[in-house]
């Protein structure tokens, strides 16, 4: 029994040191100029090469307006119809990973050639979500510790338990 605790205490620091998960997700960023440039990356920073891109116009969000593939750097550029203002939806997918971004477009952005910086599509956890996760882990550790600290005393027979709980009058 003591050897199991030694293994747990040796493995805990190794497993808790990792900063990032081994699995990865996808993220997409965009930049507005006279066109829209999409940059698709994995969370690790590597580009999503040859990923499928589907663009949906604001007036018809169910039918693809344009489809294509990203280049070797994970970039995809399209020039939207300036008459269609609103939120353009861009979906980037590759090998089960994907990102969906909404790009608010107004015709004045394209007429003036106004440029915006690359805007990341971040799905950060809120402080409440982080707090609930931390509390869950702590509660799980406490429950596990209490489980292993329970008494190993033999139980009384069921007949004696009934007599203790409900004495005869």
Bridge-partner residues for 69, per DSSP?
A: 52
What is the reported pLDDT for 135? 93
Residue 125 lies in a domain: no
Residue 149 lies in a domain: no
Residue 80 lies in a domain: yes
User: Confidence class of residue 106 from pLDDT cuts 50, 70 and 90?
Assistant: confident
Q: Say how far apart CA 89 and CA 130 lie, in whole Å.
A: 29
pTM, rounded to two decimals: 0.54
Please state the domain count of the chain: 1
Residues spanned by the domain of 107? 26-112
User: Which SS3 state, helix, strand or coil, does residue 12 take?
Assistant: helix
What's the rounded mean pLDDT across residues 143-163?
71
Please say whether the beta carbons of 80 and 57 come within 8 A. Answer: yes
State yes or no: pLDDT of 67 exceeds 60: yes
Question: How many C-beta atoms surround the C-beta of residue 38 within 10 A?
Answer: 24
Q: Over pLDDT 70: what percentage of the chain?
A: 66
Q: Say how far apart CA 34 and CA 78 lie, in whole Å.
A: 9
Residue 142 lies in a domain: no
């Amino acid at each position: 029994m003591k050897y199991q605790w030694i293994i747990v205490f040796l493995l805990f620091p190794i497993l808790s040191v990792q900063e990032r998960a081994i699995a990865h997700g996808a993220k997409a960023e965009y930049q507005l100029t006279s066109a829209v440039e999409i940059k698709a990356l994995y969370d690790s920073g590597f580009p999503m090469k040859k990923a499928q891109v589907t663009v949906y116009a604001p007036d018809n969000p169910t039918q693809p307006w344009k489809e294509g593939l990203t280049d070797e750097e994970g970039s995809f550029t399209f020039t939207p119809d300036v008459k269609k203002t609103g939120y353009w939806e861009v979906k980037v997918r590759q090998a089960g990973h994907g990102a969906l971004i909404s790009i608010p477009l107004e015709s004045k952005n394209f007429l003036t050639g106004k440029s915006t910086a690359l805007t990341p599509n971040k799905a950060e956890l809120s402080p409440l979500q982080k707090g609930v996760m931390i509390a869950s882990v702590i509660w799980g550790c406490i429950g596990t510790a209490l489980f292993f600290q329970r008494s190993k005393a033999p139980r009384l027979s069921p007949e004696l338990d009934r007599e203790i709980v409900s004495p005869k009058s």
